[in-house]
């Protein structure tokens, strides 16, 4: 069942990234996603960054069409779907790569009072590609890495995690799959939850397009524990 939603505010969030604030708020668990439909264009999944917020990187024809929208234009959404993060641990790390920041932003904002200490380790190709930096309001420490060294430490967020992993009770991660694999290896698949990405068509576990081993990402994830993914990623 689709819900017609008008856009309220559209902001540039980073290079080729826009934040769409909606006129409707959705009840959700951080890590869940919605399917966004544009008639005559198509449908794609996006993690909710907050109850009324999705963040989109322009990568193809569908997202390019989204970028043409103006405040007051309409979107059709269904969801939220999937399994979100489980808030466990006291001293936790959020490891984000590129456009993997939205579900971790939601996690930090929703559970700020439930964690004793939150460290964000956020990597991107350059400083221009870092989005949702007001996440600093919801975490205790921010460590930035950039591939080109334009901000923070030159390198990858997983370099920082590998050095500091013993400081954290739980690690939450979202980003490109090579980064997620490196996070899982660094943590030996323990005390870690990741938001996985696969091509999703139906969003409700019917079509099977998002299979990841024995799991369907849209139904069984997109958030998985490390132990679930041992041997799969």
Q: Helix, strand, or coil here: 102?
A: helix
Domains observed in the chain: 3-81 (2.40.30.10), 91-195 (3.40.50.80)
Cis peptide before 178 (omega within 30 of 0): no
Q: Which residues contact 142 (CB under 8 A, 6 or more apart)?
A: 119, 120, 122, 135, 136
Model confidence over 102-145: pLDDT tens digits? 999 999 999 988 999 999 999 999 999 999 999 999 999 999 99
The label of the residue with tokens 């956020």 reads 122
pLDDT band at 210 (very low <50, low <70, confident <90, very high): confident
Residues in a beta bridge with 94: 120, 172
The label of the residue with tokens 């099977």 reads 208
Cis peptide before 71 (omega within 30 of 0): no
pLDDT band at 193 (very low <50, low <70, confident <90, very high): very high
Q: What is the mean pLDDT of the chain?
A: 95
Q: Are strands 17-22 and 53-57 parallel, antiparallel or unpaired?
A: antiparallel
User: What Rg value do the Cα atoms of the chain yield, rounded?
Assistant: 17
Q: What is the pTM of this model?
A: 0.95
pLDDT band at 157 (very low <50, low <70, confident <90, very high): very high
Q: Is the dihedral of CA 136, 179, 184, 156 positive or negative?
A: negative
């Amino acid at each position: 069942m689709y819900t017609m939603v008008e856009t309220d505010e559209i902001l540039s969030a980073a290079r080729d990234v826009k934040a769409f604030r909606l006129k409707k708020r959705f009840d959700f668990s951080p890590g869940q996603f919605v399917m966004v439909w544009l008639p005559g264009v198509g449908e794609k999944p996006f993690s909710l960054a907050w109850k009324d917020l999705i963040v989109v990187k322009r990568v193809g024809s569908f997202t390019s069409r989204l970028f043409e929208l103006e405040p007051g234009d309409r979107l059709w959404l269904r969801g939220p779907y999937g399994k979100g993060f489980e808030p466990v641990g006291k001293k936790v790390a959020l490891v984000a790569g590129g456009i993997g920041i939205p579900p971790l932003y939601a996690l930090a904002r929703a559970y700020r009072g439930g964690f004793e200490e939150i460290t964000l380790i956020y990597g991107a190709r350059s400083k221009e590609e870092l989005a949702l930096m007001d996440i600093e309001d919801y975490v205790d420490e921010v460590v930035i890495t950039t591939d080109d060294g334009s901000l923070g430490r030159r390198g990858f967020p997983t370099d920082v995690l590998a050095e500091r992993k013993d400081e954290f009770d739980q690690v939450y991660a979202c980003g490109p799959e090579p980064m997620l694999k490196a996070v899982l290896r660094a943590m030996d698949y323990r005390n870690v939850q990741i938001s996985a990405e696969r091509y999703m068509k139906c969003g409700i576990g019917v079509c099977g397009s998002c299979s990841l081993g024995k799991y369907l990402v849209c139904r069984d994830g997109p958030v998985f524990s490390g132990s679930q993914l041992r041997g799969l990623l």
